[in-house]
Amino acid sequence: MNNKPKYIDLFAGAGGLSEGFIRAGFEPVAHVEQDEAACYTLKTRTAFHYLRSINRIDIYYAYLKNEISRSELYREVPSELLDTVINLPIGSEFNPTIHRRIARFLGENQVDLVIGGPPCQAYSVVGRSRSKSSMDGDPRNYLYILYSKYLEKYQPKMFVFENVLGLKSAKGGLYLNNMERLFLKKGYKMKLFTVEANNFSVLQNRRRVIILGWKIDLTPDLPDLASIRSPSNFKVESVFKDLPKIAAGQGVDKFVSYRTKTNVYLDQKFIRNGIDILTQHVARPHSEQDKKIYRIAVGKWNNEGQRLDYNDLPEVLKTHENRHSFFDRFKVVAQDLSYSQTVVAHIAKDGHYYIHPDIEQNRSISVREAARLQSFPDDYYFEGVKERGSRTAAFKQIGNAVPPLMAQSIASEILKII
């Protein structure tokens, strides 16, 4: 290992948070994640960073072009690097195994930082509203306890804990208060910031909680993450302009060419990354009824600047019994706004809340379009369990991720302290 600050990524997901820290100059010791598909994504991204570091990025590009298989790609990467992705759930049963593997990777180095965001469904306002018990008793409410055990074991200088805004109000703030007391008991103070992704040039309305923690014997000059402003002055159309037009159910996983040259946003924010290899521009199929509704929603926005109210649909198109809530269950990703609605994991189930603004294409957004709204670069490939990519798995990973652009800005501030 080199002299870069070292970090452990817990509940790593597809690696959006980690990608930002790597860009800022940190080095991962381990990514711990229980979802198998996300772990393959992390391994593929590990392959990308390694091959780029030895000037053999052409091998990675061959993978994106479907010229070599995933297993062939992985054979080009040292096994000890791929093994830093640990596909196990955090908890008493598997922690000894996780710790042994981390010790092997870490050697005599120290952990400078622990990062991660436990699954947020238990704290989510929407999740609580849909649960009969308001998520009371859900074990995911207490994943911060498992997080704290890693602080206790590895004694990092600092930690970064990401979660949904609902963490502040869940159980009347009880979980947050308990979290602060527990972290203090483990030797760490903390400060909470509410951040908005669009302030970090992400073309998406995504409000999140970022908790910065530090050892009590340190006196870090903490940045005010909530006051960071890096406005992009771009519209959502920037993520759509250069992509081939496809209809519902169409698209190619690997690979297809871009429709036009790049644009300023894609260049400045390292989305196109200088490559001419487009992957995962794949759209889900839709029923004829859904496509009729999409046409109405897109026409209403593009012609009148108004959102579709479900109750305004013709009776023949109304199939949901619940007519008293979720009136905006069909929503266009408006290309003329500065940011889109929040991309969440539910996009893996249906695309009704993410309708493409081009009425000619008449579909929900593709995997690549969702990834771009999250600020993932086009060379970031989202894996499924099998070697062939899974649209559903990719959508889920993207919806659960931290936008890399936001993560990079936060990481750059942490690096100044570390």
Q: Is 142 exposed, middle or buried (0-12, 13-18, 19+ CB in 10 A)?
A: middle
- Centre a 10 Å sphere on the Cβ of residue 25 and count the other Cβ atoms it contains: 13
Rounded CA separation 41/164 (Å) = 23
For 2, 25, 70, 383, the CA distances from 253, given in Å and listed in that order, are 36, 31, 14, 11
Q: What is the pLDDT of residue 231?
A: 66
366-403 pLDDT, tens digit each? 999 999 999 999 999 999 999 777 999 999 999 999 99
Task: Report, as residue numbers or ranges, the catalytic residues.
Answer: 120
Instruction: Report which secondary-structure segment, H or E, holds 31.
Output: strand 27-32
Distance CA 92, CA 81 (A): 25
pLDDT in tens, 86-110: 999 999 999 999 999 999 999 888 9
H helix intervals, 67-222: 70-74, 79-82, 95-106, 125-130, 143-154, 174-185
- pLDDT for residue 134: 43
Q: What is the pLDDT of residue 108?
A: 86
pLDDT surpasses 80 at 48: yes
Going by the DSSP 8-state scheme, the letter that residue 264 receives in this structure is: H
| Alpha helices (runs of H) in 155-287, residue ranges in sequence order | 174-185, 264-268
Beta strands 188-196; 207-215: pairing state: antiparallel
- 274 φ/ψ sector (left φ>0, alpha ψ -120 to 50, else beta): left
Q: What is the pLDDT at residue 119?
A: 84
State in words which class domain 6-231+401-417 has.
Answer: alpha beta
Yes or no: say if 13 and 38 are a contact pair by the CB < 8 Å rule.
yes
Q: To 10 degrees, the CA torsion angle through 131, 134, 137, 140?
A: 80
Give the dihedral of Cα atoms 30, 33, 39, 45; nearest 10 deg: -50
Give residue 388's pLDDT. 72
| pLDDT for res 129 | 40
Which residues, other chains included, contact 321 with Cβ-Cβ below 8 Å and sequence gap of 6+? none
Average pLDDT across the chain, whole number: 91
**Rounded to 10 degrees, what is the CA torsion of 127, 32, 195, 203?**
-90
pLDDT in tens, 351-371: 999 999 999 999 999 999 999
Q: What is residue 344's predicted lDDT score, i.e. its pLDDT?
A: 95
pLDDT score, position 311: 85
pLDDT tens for residues 146-200?
Answer: 999 999 999 999 999 999 999 998 888 898 999 999 999 999 999 999 999 999 9
Supply the pLDDT for residue 123.
56
Res 140 pLDDT > 60: no
What are the DSSP calls for 279-341, one per residue? --EE-----HHHHHHHHHHHHHHHHH--PPPGGGS-GGG---S--SS-TTSS-B--TTSSSBP
What are the domain boundaries of the chain?
6-231+401-417
Give the confidence band of 324 by pLDDT, cuts at 50, 70, 90.
low
CA distance 176 to 365: 35
Percentage of residues in the chain having pLDDT higher than 90: 82
Which amino acid, 49?
Answer: H
Place 122 in a pLDDT band, splitting at 50, 70 and 90.
low
Q: What is the distance in angstroms between the CA of the first residue and the CA of the last residue of the chain?
A: 17
- CA distances from residue 260 to 238, 276, 278 in whole angstroms, order as listed: 12, 10, 12
- What value does the mean pLDDT take over residues 115-142? 56
pTM of the model: 0.93
Q: Looking at residue 319, what is its pLDDT? A: 77
